Every structure is written in structure tokens, then in C-alpha cells.
Structure 1
């Protein structure tokens, strides 16, 4: 279960389709150094696509996508749902961006199992 949360914590977000914030867009490196993702609009949603995965990282591959339906709250954080088509799972997600740092929190099982992932913006 935790492996699934880690893999999708792009890989980690539940937000409204109108979210188009520039602070999310771009290339991000996961804090553990095992993955990089590109976050960008995709249709009415926001997608996070794995652009690089450290060799030997189980259950993840380049090209895996997370489709986020998210919206920004009054405090500037994002919340909503994220769909992982590779695993056919939907997660509740929150995203906090502060400068070049991002934290995603993905939850499954009615919010009982959650995982935080830290990210750093990269060029």
C-alpha cells in the first residue's frame, strides 16, 4: 500500500479542473532522489508525468502519469483528487508549494493511509 502511495505521490494531488497555476508547472525532483516529474496542464486537468526514474526503483517507470483534478484554496494550497491510470486508483491529494519546494500528500482508504512526499524544482 505504501509503495503504491509513494509511486503515485507525483506522484501526488486532488484539485479542480480549472487549476492552472504557474507555481505547479515545471520539472520537479522527488526528495528521495528516485524520480523526476514534469507537471503541466493536460486538457482541463493537470498532469504529472514521470520523466526520469532511478534504475531499480520498483513499480515506477518513465512515462507514468498522474491526472490531477485540483483547485487552489484561499491559503494558496491545492486540494482535490488524482487518478493513476497505471494502477486504476484515485487518491485524495493536497499540494503545498513554497518557492522551489513542494509537498504532496496522497491518501487512500478514506484518508486512513496517507503519504507525504517532498519535491524540489529543477531546471
Structure 2
């Protein structure tokens, strides 16, 4: 009985902490202005849509498409407008789930968390977290 009560209290405390983070809604820029994403709440989680690119056109002057997507049927869809975050649910002071990188057509385990300086840190990992890369997003609006 005591174990069940302890487990329930830890679960409630964990959920309260996970929901404490406020979704950083707005438009955010990736490093060097390479791309901009719109972040919004999606239920209890976070969604992000690619809304702009520093270089939106390919060498032929056409809008860039998702040419590296492993699903051949999706390779002709425009990159601008793609949903980049999937299943980003509250986790600690941020969110955890996966994100899609149209640069290489791969989906990575990742996290999104506010940094103390008003930026966001997007961290993606492979090999069970052995290799990770973090990008800092800066608010545009």
C-alpha cells in the first residue's frame, strides 16, 4: 500500500513538473538564419512547422522539395510547410519526442528545452544518445 501511494505521488509530481513548461509559441530562427520554424502547442505537446528558408529555391529556381525523404512518394512535397516535430510531449523542463530533418531525410530522437537566455535548445541524438547535436533557436516573433 505504501509503495502504491509513493508511486502515485511520484507520478503526480512528475506530471506536474512536465506540464510546468510553457510552450514557446512563435517563430524561431535556426543558427545563421538558415531556416525559421513556427512553434505551437499541440495538445499537451509541441509542434513545429518549417515556415521559411534563407535559400528557399533550388539551383533551377524552383521551391525546394523534400528530396531526401526515405518515402519516395513524399520527395516532391515542398519543404516549406513541413511538420518537423513528432510526438513532442512534456519531459522535465521541456519536451521530448522525434524531429524530422529534411536536410538528410532522417528522423531523430530529440528534445526541445528553453535555455535561460530566452533561446531554445533543440537536441537530436542517434545511437541511443551516444552521438548528439544541439542547435540553438532564437525567437523572431
Q: TM-score, normalised by structure 2?
A: 0.57
| Other-structure match for 1:11 | none
| Other-structure match for 1:51 | 51
Structure 1 residue 30, shift from structure 2 partner: 0.9
What secondary structure sits across from 2:129 in the alignment?
Answer: coil
Larger Rg: 2
Contact residue 44 and residue 90 of structure 2 kept, 8 A: no
Whether 2:123 is the aligned partner of 1:108: answer: no
Contact residue 19 and residue 46 of structure 1 kept, 8 A: no
- Structure 1: 5+ residue runs without aligned partners? 1-15
Whether 2:30 is the aligned partner of 1:30: answer: yes
> Whose strand proportion is higher, 1 or 2?
1
| Other-structure match for 2:90 | 71
Alignment RMSD (CA, Å): 3.1
> Whose helix proportion is higher, 1 or 2?
2
Say how many residue pairs are matched: 103
Q: TM-score, normalised by structure 1?
A: 0.64
- Structure 2: 5+ residue runs without aligned partners? 1-14, 59-63, 67-78
